[in-house]
Chain A
Amino acid sequence: MFSKTSQNVRNDRIEGRWRTLFLVMTALLILPVVIILTLLIIRGGPAITWEFISGFPIKGMTQGGIFPALMGTIFLVSLGLVFSVPLGIAAAIYLSEYASDNKLTRIINLAIINLAGVPSIVHALFGLGAFVLFMEFGTSILAASLTLAIMALPVVIVATKESLEAVPYAFREACWSLGATKWQTIRKIVLPNAVSGILTGVILEVSRTAGETAPIMFTGAAFFLPFLPESVYDQTMALSLHLFVVATQVPNVPESLPYGVALLLIMLVLLMNALSIGFRVRFRSKKKW
């Protein structure tokens, strides 16, 4: 009564085929990551020394370190955060806690999601037009950071909104029923419980903007500038652009140099991601709902 029929045999065979297909697809997905990382570590690993990280590029960028580019990336990303994080979090709080659910709100939400999909080169041209030319910041750290901030904004908003909405509605109701205003509810209960999610989103966004090249190329990143910027109106080097330059624009570069830059960039990004995962794990273990 319970033995295999020919129908069962056929089902098992089909089941096996699909399973294999999905497995192969997953392997194909992981393979490039593994190959890229291995290649970078083998070829670029030897280039990474303390002199490489802390030194200035010399001899037409064919030798020396990448310190100004590393610092430039850090400046650009942190100044970008200063603009995008407060603005993004405030907008997200308004949209998810205050705005009533009407047509306008839905259009705004849709626009924000679409903004996240705008190609970075378009952001770059917008930054060039708006910040460099119209607002007359010139090609500068300020203009480049603002461009990165505009790019990061929709992601910050979406991440913040999602983590705010993940805080159970019952907590808000409990607060209101005790006579709390909306802001008291947000400050005392909603934000403290959403902060881990917001932080995770922000850090992931940092890792993404750190690698962006197009938006900063037109607005503030310099091809070669062997000293550190003195103000936000100066240009700066940046890791991502530096990688592009040494890989394609400069002759006679030793092979290990671009790999080294790439490895450093990836390590920066992975460090950020690890940090964000760490936060998430830490905060999630505290939650009890």
Chain B
Amino acid sequence: MGKLPIPEPQIMWRVALVDNSKNENPFGEVISMEHHIDDPSNDSTPKNAVETTDLSLWYGSFQALFNVNFKVKQGLVTSLIGPSGCGKSTLLRSVNRINERFGYVRTEGQVHVLGQDIYAPTVDKTQVRSQIGMVFQRPNPLPVTIRKNILFGYHLKNPGRVAASVEDELVEKSLREVLLWDDLKDKLNHSALSLSLEQQQKLCIARLLPVKPKVILMDEPCSALDPEATAAIEDLIWDLRGEYTILIVTHNMAQARRASDECAFMLMGKMVEHGKTEDIFVTPDHQQTADYIEGKFG
């Protein structure tokens, strides 16, 4: 028996393969990496921080997302609106892969964050989650001290001993950024659960900062808060804008209008419309969007 004919890899052969795949760019990954390396500040048009391509998602046999194509521009606040059960939270939760805790979730399509496919086999889920921060509907500080809450993510990424001065600096910087430092600097060792809801939610944002996330996802961050606290959180979101890309799910139309640069409307698991917030609210392209915004259904 002779040797099996193993084809020698040749340049021509690869080119032929590439040609067969038509519109697919085989170097897409590399190109988008360069994209990501580019300094965003010297480019006038914002890049996409999050980009989903034909994203479909099933909970068991129930399909929650249908071929969603969605681009979130870097450094802006983008709000996701739509009636209950339209899939906006599901979409949000597939951007940091936290919905995978249910064994019966199946995803098709792609989600790129800063140019990298976060569903690629080489991707580590904990890396995804630590670099894409999430703020939940109900403030959920951990049942430990304020200080430990802020350092929790940092210690996960830096398991060794960390100098106390570094920790102190991180805590102060993070709390200053969410405007809590003056209120809390004397009770850093109190339980985080002793804070007011507004402070808890701000703390939940502050604890993301030491791990330097690029993208922050917020799932109705104000729905458990009173109007004053809501205004405070909205101000904070506006302050964080630019440095972080923020994607926020909200039920509150007024909030979407006040506190977002771009707005996307979803219905029945499909992305209906996405554009500048003022355009969506003033001159929506779709009748469904107009009806929802006017409150004809919810």
Q: Is the CB of A179 within 8 A of B140?
A: no
- Is the C-beta of B193 less than 8 angstroms from some C-beta in chain A? yes
A288 to chain B, nearest CB (A): 4
Which residues on the A side are within 8 Å of B131 (C-beta)?
Answer: 179
Interface contact tally, CB-CB below 8 A: 65
Q: Is B129 an interface residue (CB 8 A)?
A: yes
Give the distance to chain A from B136, nearest Cβ to Cβ, in Å. Answer: 6
Taken residue by residue from 273 to 289, chain A's Cβ proximity to chain B (1 for < 8 Å, 0 otherwise) reads as: 00000000000000111
Number of contacting residues on A, CB 8 A?
22
- Give every chain A residue within 8 A of B130 (Cβ-Cβ): 178-179
- With A179-B157, A180-B126 known to touch, is A174 a contact of B142 (CB < 8 Å)? yes
List of B residues within 8 angstroms of A289 by Cβ: 143, 193
Which residues from A are CB-within-8-Å of B141?
174
- We find that the number of chain B residues with CB closer than 8 angstroms to chain A is 30
Which of B127, B134, B142, B156 neighbours the largest number of chain A CB atoms within 10 Å of its CB? B142
B98 in contact with A176 (CB, 8 Å):
yes
**Known contacts being A179-B153, A289-B193, is A171 close to B142, with CB within 8 Å?**
yes
Q: Point out the residues of chain A lying under 8 angstroms from B98, CB to CB.
A: 173, 176-177
Q: Is the CB of A177 within 8 A of B133?
A: yes
Nearest A residue (CB) for B126: A179
Contacts of B191 on A, CB cut-off 8 Å?
288
Docked Cα-Cα span, A171 to B156, in Å, equals 15
B153 touches A170 (CB 8 A): no
Given A176-B98, A178-B153, A178-B207, do A288 and B143 touch, yes or no (CB 8 Å)? yes
CB distance from B101 to the nearest CB of A (A): 7
Residue A139 lies at the interface, judged by CB distance under 8 Å to chain B = no
Given contact pairs A174-B136, A288-B194, A179 touches B142 in the complex (Cβ within 8 A): no
**Given the complex, which residues of A lie within 8 Å of B207, measured CB to CB?**
178
The reply to whether A177 and B126 contact each other, CB–CB distance below 8 Å, is no
Of the A-B pairs whose beta carbons lie under 8 Å apart in the complex, a sample of 20, sorted by A's number, is: A168-B140, A170-B136, A170-B138, A171-B140, A171-B142, A174-B141, A174-B142, A176-B101, A176-B129, A177-B129, A178-B207, A179-B127, A179-B211, A180-B126, A181-B126, A184-B156, A189-B142, A193-B143, A287-B143, A288-B143
Q: Top 9 A-B pairs ranked by shortest CB distance?
A: A179-B130, A100-B103, A178-B153, A170-B140, A177-B134, A288-B193, A174-B140, A179-B126, A179-B129
Which residues of B does A touch, CB under 8 Å?
A: 96, 98, 101, 103-104, 126-127, 129-131, 133-134, 136, 138, 140-144, 152-153, 156-157, 191, 193-194, 204, 207-208, 211
